[in-house]
Every structure is written in C-alpha cells, then in structure tokens.
C-alpha cells in the first residue's frame, strides 16, 4: 500500500471527531442542566424521542472508536521515530486520566477516565495480529451490546479502532473506498431495520431519564427496554454514521461545507471539556439549571458549537495545537513544545 506521509494529519479523523462532538453535546447537556422531562404530544416530546433514537450512545461510540485509531497512530509514530512508545503512551494515559478526573468532578458522565483505563487494557493488543483483534473486538462488542452494558462498550470499540489503525484504513481511504461503500450500505440497511424495532419499543409518553426508578413498574419496564434497545443497536447506527460521513467527504464541495467540523475536531479535547465548562458557567450566570426545555437545549447547543467553531478557526490560525492538546503533548514528551505557528505556515493556510 502507498501510505501517506507519517507526519501528515488525517483530516477525515478530524471531521469525525467534530461530528462526534456535536452528538455528545446534544446528550450531555440534559444531565448537566437537569433538563425537565417534556409534556406529552409536544415538540419537546418529539425531540426527546429523536435523541434516544438517533443520538444517545451513537456519538459516544464514534468517539471511542476514534480514540482507538489515535491510540494506534500515536504508538506507530513513536516507534517509527525510535522512541520508547510504551513509556510515552503511559505518560499520555496518565495525563488523560488526570484531566478526566478533574472533569469528572463537574460532569459525572465524562469519558476520559474510562478511555484511560480501557486504553491500558487494550495496550497489549497493539502487537496482536489485526485479524485476531478484529475477531475479539467484534465478539466483545456483540456480547456487551446484547447485554446492553453501556459502560463496557468503549472497550471493544477502542480495540476496533486500533484494528482499523493496523489495517491503515484512514491512511488509505482511496484504496478502501469500495469496501467503505459496501460497509455503509450494509450498516444503513441494518440501521433502518433496527430503527423500526427500537421505535416500536418507544414509551407512549415522555420520561425523565434521571428519575426512571420513581415511575410505575410497567412504565419503568417499557422505558428501560427502550433505552436498552438503543444501547444494543447503537454501535451499528454509529458504524453507519462513520461510513456515511467518509463516503460524502469524498466530494470537495461537501468537505468545504462541513469544514467547521474539521476545526472543531482538531481541538477535540479542548472543545469536549470546554463544552462542560461553558454549560456550567452559563447555568450559574443565567440561572438555567432545571429551568429549560428539551428544544431550548438544542438552541443552546447550536450557540455553543458556533462559538467553538469560530474559536477553533481563530486559534488554529495562530497555534499548532489546542490549549489542552498542547499541555497534553508537553506532559507526554516531558519538555516544552512550541505552540505558535510561524508566519509562513499561517500564510499557507
């Protein structure tokens, strides 16, 4: 295979990270602002159902998979440069865990600490053959999905991301284009069938996800079955989203239209934690905690994304890394790293 240059940034990964951040924010805002359950037969109720059919768990899965891809690329590049990849990776994971632990104090559902722990568990698989990793990853994903154990799903997804890295999928998208088309068609067909299945499990009235234990037993069983079904089929929906985005990004016009996602994703760590910081600050400044509706969260998310896209574009005009990415990088390599872009680099952008 004709590999891309080793230091070349794979833009498709940034597009996917940015795309994942959109969906993660739409879901994370609900517990962070303690959004009240909607009334029946309202647009708010329709939006809640939309979130649990198309968003909840789907974008978290994409983020987990991408972590695995980045995991492999990091170790591959470190080994290629003759560095001690394991030591660097352990420092990288320690820093990520520390940032996640701080983030956890503000956002109980945060993912960085989970990724850190599972990253250590997946580390030995780096030297395992890709065929074996593919089998183990798919097997674990099937088991955890059937059991609807959401907290365990990142483990096989990270492993599958590492496997995609071993196969050099993202470095050779042109060579894999036909397979990606087929993959997208298959996952779309499965997603359509499973959507109908989950839709038929939907509760007859809206629910409060933070207090489902307090509802009637019959309602609890229905809500629980609906949510568990979403967890069970979520990875297939996520796979379709990834395949669809990779497919349409082949068109230059689409890449241009969706370019804000690229900037958002290039600073994914900063923007992910930044979303929590913005929501908590807004909650305290404007007194919106437990005071807004589902549709109002959509408007707030749009404002946050717009702000982060503008901020990311301006920041990356002058700097090579996002603020948290820069600190993460320095901790990993244990020395000061220049963050500013030289003028010639800016002029070429």
From the list 83, 87, 19, the residue with the least C-alpha distance to 55 is 19
The pLDDT confidence band at residue 343, using thresholds 50, 70 and 90, is low
Q: Are 14 and 266 in contact (CB under 8 A)?
A: yes
Tokens 């229905």 belong to which residue?
222
- In the structure encoding, which two tokens stand for residue 96, read together? 């990520």
Please tell me the predicted confidence (pLDDT) of residue 2.
42
From the list 249, 229, 280, the residue with the least C-alpha distance to 181 is 249
In the beta sheet, which residues pair with residue 340? 319
CA distance linking residue 339 with residue 276, whole number of Å? 24
Burial class for 265, CB neighbours closer than 10 Å (0-12, 13-18, 19+): buried
> What does pLDDT average to over the chain?
93
Tell me the per-residue pLDDT of 121-169, one tens digit each, with 9 for 90 and over. 999 999 999 999 999 999 999 999 999 999 999 999 999 999 999 999 9
Distant-in-sequence, close-in-space partners of 141: CB < 8 Å, separation ≥ 6: 153, 156, 157, 160, 235
What is the chain's alpha carbon radius of gyration, rounded to the nearest angstrom? 20
Residue 171: CB atoms within 10 A of its CB come to 21
pLDDT surpassing 80 at residue 349: no
Q: Are 275 and 30 in contact (CB under 8 A)?
A: no
pLDDT surpassing 60 at residue 19: yes
Tokens 């001690």 belong to which residue?
84
Tell me the per-residue pLDDT of 206-227, one tens digit each, with 9 for 90 and over. 988 777 766 677 788 889 899 9
Please tell me the predicted confidence (pLDDT) of residue 1.
41
Q: Are 265 and 17 in contact (CB under 8 A)?
A: yes
pLDDT surpassing 90 at residue 342: no
* Share above pLDDT 70 across residues of the chain, in percent, rounded to a whole number: 95
Tell me the per-residue pLDDT of 264-295, one tens digit each, with 9 for 90 and over. 999 999 999 999 999 999 999 999 999 999 99
Tell me the per-residue pLDDT of 22-67, one tens digit each, with 9 for 90 and over. 999 999 999 999 998 999 999 999 999 999 999 999 999 999 999 9
pLDDT surpassing 80 at residue 194: yes
The pLDDT confidence band at residue 3, using thresholds 50, 70 and 90, is very low
Residue 93: CB atoms within 10 A of its CB come to 19
pTM metric for this prediction: 0.94
Can you state the percent helix, strand and coil of the chain, rounding each to 5? 75, 0, 25
Please tell me the predicted confidence (pLDDT) of residue 211.
76
Tell me the per-residue pLDDT of 58-99, one tens digit each, with 9 for 90 and over. 999 999 999 999 999 999 999 999 999 999 999 999 999 999
CA distance linking residue 245 with residue 50, whole number of Å? 20
């Amino acid at each position: 295979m004709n590999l891309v240059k080793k230091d070349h940034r794979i833009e498709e990964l940034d597009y996917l990270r940015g795309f994942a951040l959109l969906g993660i924010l739409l879901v994370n805002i609900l517990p962070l602002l303690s959004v009240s359950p909607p009334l029946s037969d309202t647009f708010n109720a329709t939006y809640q159902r939309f979130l649990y059919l198309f968003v909840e768990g789907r974008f978290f899965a994409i983020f987990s998979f991408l972590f695995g891809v980045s995991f492999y690329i990091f170790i591959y590049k470190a080994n290629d440069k003759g560095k001690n990849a394991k030591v660097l990776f352990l420092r990288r994971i320690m820093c990520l865990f520390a940032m996640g632990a701080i983030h956890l104090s503000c956002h109980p559902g945060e993912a960085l600490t989970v990724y850190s722990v599972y990253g250590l568990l997946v580390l030995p698989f780096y030297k395992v053959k890709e065929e074996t990793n593919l089998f183990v990853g798919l097997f674990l994903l099937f088991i955890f999905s059937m059991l609807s154990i959401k907290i365990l799903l990142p483990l096989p997804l990270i492993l599958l991301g590492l496997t995609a890295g071993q196969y050099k999928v993202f470095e050779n998208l042109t060579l894999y284009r036909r397979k990606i088309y087929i993959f997208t068609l298959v996952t779309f067909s499965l997603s359509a069938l499973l959507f109908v299945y989950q839709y038929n499990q939907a509760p007859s009235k809206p629910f409060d996800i933070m207090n489902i234990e307090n509802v009637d037993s019959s309602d609890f069983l229905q809500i629980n079955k609906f949510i568990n079904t979403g967890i069970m089929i979520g990875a297939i929906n996520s796979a379709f989203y990834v395949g669809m985005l990779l497919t349409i990004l082949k068109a230059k016009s689409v890449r241009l239209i969706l370019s804000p996602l690229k900037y958002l994703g290039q600073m994914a760590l900063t923007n992910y934690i930044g979303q929590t910081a913005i929501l908590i600050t807004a909650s305290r400044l404007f007194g919106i905690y437990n005071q807004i509706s589902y549709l109002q969260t959509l408007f707030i998310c749009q404002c946050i994304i717009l702000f982060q896209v503008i901020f990311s574009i301006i920041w990356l005009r002058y700097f090579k890394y996002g603020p948290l990415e820069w600190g993460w990088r320095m901790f990993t390599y244990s020395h000061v790293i220049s963050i500013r872009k030289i003028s010639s680099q800016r002029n070429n952008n």
